[in-house]
A and B are shown apart, each in its own frame.
Chain A
Amino acid sequence: AQRVTQPEKLLSVFKGAPVELKCNYSYSGSPELFWYVQYSRQRLQLLLRHISRESIKGFTADLNKGETSFHLKKPFAQEEDSAMYYCALPFGNEKLTFGTGTRLTIIP
């Protein structure tokens, strides 16, 4: 069964330090993976998608099929990065399954 695991519920990082939010998945086939973010008092929104190979707000995520991971990284954390982050994996044709989320806090 498809599953997404985010092992860290909470992560605190100093401003300017590198950030890595972990995501592991179980999936048979070639997965498409996504990161969603929820800033304080805002709605859940798409941050980036694996298929686009994009960098959004300085974040990147590389799919590692050998390790079945899709970790989210940013070299220098900023205070505005504090938020809840969810890794997501499609299953079926139209649904997304989400991880339990990691709350990132950037310490000034």
Chain B
Amino acid sequence: GAGVSQSPRYKVAKRGQDVALRCDPISGHVSLFWYQQALGQGPEFLTYFQNEAQLDKSGLPSDRFFAERPEGSVSTLKIQRTQQEDSAVYLCASSPPPRLAATGELFFGEGSRLTVL
């Protein structure tokens, strides 16, 4: 496909359950980002990869959140022992070189909507 692909699109989890969200970026895109978007809010930065290296994870809200991109392509965001406050849309975005700050263009997926009961 031509765009960023995320799965599942919708996930309902019981409180305490572990979830895994997958992101398949645009082929050749070096940078990959995860954002969390709560209802009525803008996207909030979670973490960032350049190829397989996780260069910034300052936005991850707790140690229950973990992200990986082992081969520099597909990425997985894992949330352990989900809580109700984790309910949100999780957006993945990718961007090619050069530096994002120079172009500002992130290519977003459709998001994974997580509902924790």
Interface positions of A (Cβ within 8 A of B): 4, 6, 9, 32, 34, 36, 43-46, 49, 51, 86, 88, 90, 92-101
8 examples of A-B residue contacts, CB within 8 angstroms: A44-B91, A45-B107, A46-B104, A46-B105, A95-B56, A96-B45, A98-B43, A101-B42
Interface positions of B (Cβ within 8 A of A): 3-4, 31, 33, 35, 40-45, 48, 50, 55-56, 91, 93, 99-111
Residues of B within 8 A of A51 (CB): 102, 104
B45 is contacted by which of A6, A86, A93, A97 (Cβ under 8 Å)? Answer: A97
Q: Are B101 and A94 in contact (CB under 8 A)?
A: yes
Residues of A within 8 A of B99 (CB): 93-94
**Smallest CB–CB gap between A28 and chain B, Å?**
15
User: How many contacting A-B pairs (Cβ < 8 A)?
Assistant: 68
**Smallest CB–CB gap between B31 and chain A, Å?**
6
A88 is contacted by which of B50, B103, B104 (Cβ under 8 Å)? Answer: B104
Residues of A within 8 A of B93 (CB): 44
Residues of B within 8 A of A93 (CB): 99-101
Q: Are B108 and A94 in contact (CB under 8 A)?
A: no
Q: Are B43 and A86 in contact (CB under 8 A)?
A: yes
Determine the distance from Cα of A92 to Cα of B99 in the docked complex, in whole angstroms.
11
Determine the distance from Cα of A46 to Cα of B108 in the docked complex, in whole angstroms.
9
Q: Are A43 and B45 in contact (CB under 8 A)?
A: no
**Smallest CB–CB gap between B61 and chain A, Å?**
16
Q: Are A49 and B48 in contact (CB under 8 A)?
A: no
Q: Are A100 and B42 in contact (CB under 8 A)?
A: yes
Q: Besides the contacts A93-B101, A98-B44, A100-B40, what 5 more A-B pairs have beta carbons closer than 8 Å?
A: A43-B110, A92-B56, A93-B100, A94-B100, A95-B33
